[in-house]
Amino acid sequence: MNITNICCIGAGYVGGPTMSVIAQQCPDIRVTIVDINEARIAAWNSDDLSELPVYEPGLAGVVAEARGRNLFFSTDVDRAIDEAQMVFISVNTPTKTYGKGRGMAADLKYIELCARQIAAVAKDDKIIVEKSTLPVRTADALKSILHNTGNGVNFHILSNPEFLAEGTAVADLHNPDRVLIGGEHPEAVEALVSIYGRWVDRSRILTTNLWSSELSKLTANAFLAQRVSSINAISELCEKTGANVDEVARAIGTDSRIGPKFLKASVGFGGSCFQKDILNLVYIARSYGLQEVADYWEQVIIMNDHQKRRFADNIVQTLYNTVSGKKIVFYGWAFKKDTNDTRESAAIYVADALLAEEAEITVYDPKVPAGQVYRDLDYLGTRSPEENRRLVTVVGDPYEAAGDAHAIAVLTEWDEFRTYDWKRIREHMMKPAFVFDGRKILAANKLDQIGFQYYEVGAG
């Protein structure tokens, strides 16, 4: 099978960067990314590359190289499906907010809509690729919908989960640790292998059966999140005992069996994947009656919620047990640096806890616009949109943000925070001036010298 025309349904944080890199690496393949969200497609087509809907280092360059050559963004979903030999499904699979499995299971309604649309439009055989993270055996549901259309078209289903991390998406796509392709039909698998094979060494392209591929994605995210919760659990013990969690992380990370990565204690993990995928894993385990397996993984989430909560509690306690009417500045709102994505960001939950104590919050984030901060808080439904706008201010200048503040809380590890003139920041703050470093990125000694009361996660 020689693939010359690909379509991807869903132009989000996964579909956008992934397909842009495929187009960049395969100039002879026409790649069309479609989405029902017109504003999003317009932004992907914007002449001003700083307007792209996803911020990722290096992404604008990739889009500039391929867009209009063999990379296209469109809202004409039917046409793109019709013309493609291979259709990637990269739509959102959020946690269900209603009915059975509410708050745990993945909501597959967007996936099912895609399958039905493909079934309705397709006139010739196609390879369908699951790119979104999905519960194990979703491919069964896809197969069932696609194969029961009665129009004689054959569909081969592949699972090709994406392991890129936001903030390093382009580098991860250019040089992945591995590409995983699950499928039953050897020719279909080979068709996708040969696409990645243009720039990824074959030894790094793993092929498995469909179910292993689906489950591996959930398992990878669960293991990664578990490491963060493990080191965060130790961080609380460090604060009580005078140990420093960075030193502990270094000491254990040099053991080659443990390894040094993903041992950075923090205010808690966020992002669209970790919580959603673990909840999904827990739900699947429970649905098979595997209570101990479910409880085991659920603890990773319980620990993460605790870490966010105790960061907020520590701010309240340290500020003499009241933050009512006090201005607290958040440096960072995104769930990690180098992205404008705020989904499940720890900042949202820390803000919610402090607002419950009647704090006034001023937010500065280099990439997150004010509208997103308010949408995130409104979505929680804890207080009215008017109340959120009254209590929370979003500013575009970090120094202006600090004026008359009682405390600064670092919620995202943006590099620029390290380079600020912290002496100047302190001058305009209330005294004593507090810094709560939820990312452990500032120099404790330097801030002490300047006169800050400096607190960091995982240090006594």
Catalytic positions are 162, 217, 273
Q: What does 436 interact with, of ligand UDX, ligand ADP, none (CB < 5 to 8 A by kind)? A: none
Which tokens in the block code for residue 245?
Answer: 């969690």
- Are 46 and 52 contacting, i.e. CB atoms less than 8 angstroms apart? yes
Give the footprint of ligand UDX on residues 163-182 (CB under 6 A): 163-166
Task: Categorise residue 262: left if φ over 0, alpha if ψ from -120 to 50, beta otherwise.
Answer: left
Near ligand ADP by CB under 6 A: residue from 1, 43, 113, 206 = 113
> Is 11 near ligand ADP (CB under 6 A)?
yes
Distances (CA, A) of 225 to 34, 166, 303, 403: 31, 15, 10, 36
Q: Which does 91 bind (CB under 5 to 8 A by kind): ligand UDX, ligand ADP, none?
A: ligand ADP
**Pick 156 or 264: Cβ nearer ligand UDX:** 264
**Stretch (H or E) spanning 147:** helix 138-147
Contact predicate 348/377, CB 8 Å = yes
Three-class SS of residue 45?
coil
* Token code pair at residue 94: 């959020």
Distance in Å, CB of 338 to ligand UDX, minimum: 10
Neighbours of 263 (CB within 10 A): 19
Q: Least distance to ligand ADP from the beta carbon of 147, Å?
A: 20
- Binding segment toward ligand UDX, per CB under 6 A, in 106-114, 194-202, 220-228, 351-359: 220-228
Cα separation, 282 vs 293, whole angstroms: 7
Residue placing its CB nearer to ligand ADP in the complex, 88 or 417 = 88
Q: Measured from the CB atom, is 127 or 169 closer to ligand ADP?
A: 169
DSSP β-ladder status, 179-183 and 155-159: antiparallel
Lay out the sheet containing 126-130: strands in order across.
71-74, 30-34, 5-9, 86-89, 126-130, 155-159, 179-183, 205-208
Q: Strands of 434-437's sheet, edge to edge? A: 392-394, 360-364, 327-331, 407-410, 434-437, 453-456
36 binds, among ligand ADP, ligand UDX, none (CB under 5 to 8 A by kind): ligand ADP
From the list ligand ADP, ligand UDX, none, which binds 264 (C-beta under 5 to 8 Å, kind-based)?
Answer: ligand UDX
Q: Considering beta carbons, is residue 59 or 224 the nearer one to ligand UDX? A: 224
Task: Tell me, residue by residue from 137 to 166, as one string, x for binding to ligand ADP by CB under 6 A and - for no binding.
Answer: ------------------------------
Rounded Cα–Cα distance for residues 274 and 294 (Å): 15
Report d(CA 229, CA 81) in Å as an integer: 41
Near ligand ADP by CB under 6 A: residue from 24, 95, 132, 232: 132
When binding is defined by CB under 6 A, the residue of 5, 25, 37, 318 that contacts ligand ADP is 37
- Nearest approach in angstroms of CB 271 to ligand UDX is 3
Q: Kindly state whether residue 409 participates in binding ligand UDX, applying the rule CB under 6 A.
A: no
| 221 forms part of the interface with ligand UDX (CB under 6 A) | yes
Residues numbered 270 to 309 that lie near ligand ADP (CB under 6 A) are 272
d(CA 19, CA 24): 8
Contact between 307 and ligand UDX per CB under 6 A? no
**Number of residues in the chain:** 460
- Whose tokens are 């190289």? That residue is 65
User: Could you say which residues in the range 124-163 bind ligand UDX, by CB under 6 A?
Assistant: 162-163
Candidate residues 6, 8, 14, 63; the one interacting with ligand ADP per rule CB under 6 A: 14
Is 264 an interacting residue with respect to ligand UDX (CB under 6 A)?
Answer: yes
Structure tokens given for 227: 């490491």
Query: H or E element: which one contains 410?
Result: strand 407-410
In whole angstroms, how close is the CB of 295 to ligand UDX at the nearest point?
22
How many residues form the binding site for ligand ADP (CB under 6 A)?
21
Helices (H), 148-199: 169-174, 186-196
- Confirm or reject binding of residue 15 to ligand ADP (CB under 6 A): yes
**Options 20, 159, 266, 372; binder of ligand UDX; rule CB under 6 A:** 266
Query: What residue ranges bind ligand ADP (CB under 6 A)?
Result: 9-15, 34-37, 40, 77, 90-92, 110, 113-114, 132, 272
